[in-house]
Homo-oligomer: A and B are copies of this chain.
Amino acid sequence: MATINTNYQKLSPRYLFAEIARQVNAYQAAHPDTHLIRLGIGDVTQPLPNAAIQAMHRAVDECACASTFRGYGPEQGYDFLIDAILQHDFQPRGIHLSPSEVFISDGAKSDTGNIGDILSTQNIVGITDPVYPVYADTNIMAGRTLHSIPCHADNAFTGDIPSEHLDIIFLCYPNNPTGAVMTKEKLTLWVNYAIQHKAIILYDAAYEAFIQDDRLPHSIYEIEGARQCAIEFRSFSKTAGFTGIRCGYTIIPHALKSTDGVSLNRLWNRRQCSKFNGASYISQRGAEAIYTPEGQQQVRHTIQHYMRNAHYFHDCLEQLGLTVYGGQNAPYLWVSTPDGEDSWSFFRRLLTDAHVVVTPGEGFGPHGEGYIRITSFGTWEDSLEAMERIKKLYK
């Protein structure tokens, strides 16, 4: 008889954002006239850059005419987009990759979830705590043993280099949920650990566009040796508002090999050719347009908008006496709950008393307890209003 993957039974039945939505919807239903301000889920609100809009219109028109129609594209993505990525995201930082080291996809969530396909289920996986739930859940689904890497204020939310052996390490910097960043010095320690242990770092750089401090690395390949031990994930979701358009990419250097010499690039290529049919042509043309001068300017404008919110939140919340992390090079703020209040209680208090939705830190892992996550993806008006409401709680 057909049997299921029983690893799914080990997953927590409660999915964080579904649980928050349940509580928020229940409150809204009971108080239909209340205007809730949502600083919880990390979705963007600003429209797409005009360059991407125009490019997608052109792509749609191409599909209307037999002579310009595009059918199946390369599973790895179109060269026009891969070339733009290499030229703008890597070459200016001294990173020279081959086009065949780039795989365009429908987003970083798919890739960080699917990358496990090519890796043994026997690998021990290091997961930071708190963490974006996808890394943990997808590895539980595969039956891998997870090892927690606690991230707290004392290690700047970048984890202590483990004394034990790990095979795979998920790192996400700028970090979701803490908004923490990784310095070159600290990232070098992680790369050295990976080389020493023949481990693989899965580096999620989905938020690199929010980095304001020039000293911080945007790519793990800025670190010597990283090509031998790291896969990097990038996304257009937060950079350019592509959460609904779906496009991202993954870098797997040819130098990354298993201990018996198998190229992980080749395995991933085979995986993508068998289980994926390329990202939408329209989405890829939209992503390409982000790299035009006009597109770059528009992206910067949008990022500045969100970072203005983040900086404002940071100042306001500190003035209220709260301890605030992140929000300097990331769209997320990680805020200590007052007087050790538990994070779900503070979440509910902000919902009912300030009508502001945040994310309770405990939902990201045990070390998230005592914090809430605030996202800066709202409008400026909502951001001002949200802080006014929270200030009133402290009067």
Report A's interface with B, CB cutoff 8 A.
Answer: 1-6, 8-9, 11, 15, 18, 41, 43-48, 50, 53, 56-57, 60-61, 63-66, 69-73, 106-107, 109-110, 113-114, 117-123, 133-134, 137-138, 141, 167-168, 197-200, 241, 243-246, 258-259, 262, 264, 267, 270-271, 273-283, 379
CB distance from A14 to the nearest CB of B (A): 11
CB distance from A270 to the nearest CB of B (A): 6
What is the chain B residue whose CB lies nearest that of A1? B198
Query: How many copies are assembled?
Result: 2
CB distance from A299 to the nearest CB of B (A): 14
User: CA separation between A1 and B169, bound complex, in Å?
Assistant: 12
- The answer to whether A274 touches B2, judged by C-beta atoms less than 8 angstroms apart, is no
- The answer to whether B45 touches A63, judged by C-beta atoms less than 8 angstroms apart, is no
Given the interface contacts A244-B70, A246-B278, does A259 sit within 8 Å of B120 by beta carbon?
no
User: CA separation between A2 and B50, bound complex, in Å?
Assistant: 43
User: CA separation between A79 and B45, bound complex, in Å?
Assistant: 21
CB distance from A61 to the nearest CB of B (A): 8
CB distance from A236 to the nearest CB of B (A): 12
CB distance from A168 to the nearest CB of B (A): 6
Choose among B64, B138, B280 the residue that contacts A283 (Cβ–Cβ < 8 A).
B280
Contact partners of A63 in chain B: CB under 8 A: 47-48, 53, 56, 241, 244-245
User: CA separation between A379 and B122, bound complex, in Å?
Assistant: 51
Can you give 18 contacting A-B residue pairs, CB < 8 Å? A2-B123, A3-B122, A3-B167, A4-B264, A15-B270, A18-B273, A41-B72, A46-B69, A50-B64, A53-B60, A56-B63, A63-B244, A66-B379, A133-B274, A244-B280, A246-B278, A246-B279, A282-B282
Choose among B48, B72, B73, B137 the residue that contacts A274 (Cβ–Cβ < 8 A).
B137
What is the chain B residue whose CB lies nearest that of A266? B8
CB distance from A172 to the nearest CB of B (A): 16
- The answer to whether A282 touches B141, judged by C-beta atoms less than 8 angstroms apart, is no
Contact partners of A121 in chain B: CB under 8 A: 5
CB distance from A253 to the nearest CB of B (A): 14
What is the chain B residue whose CB lies nearest that of A4? B258
Choose among B66, B120, B141, B244 the residue that contacts A271 (Cβ–Cβ < 8 A).
B141
CB distance from A150 to the nearest CB of B (A): 22
Contact partners of A167 in chain B: CB under 8 A: 1-3
- The answer to whether B118 touches A5, judged by C-beta atoms less than 8 angstroms apart, is yes
User: CA separation between A138 and B133, bound complex, in Å?
Assistant: 26
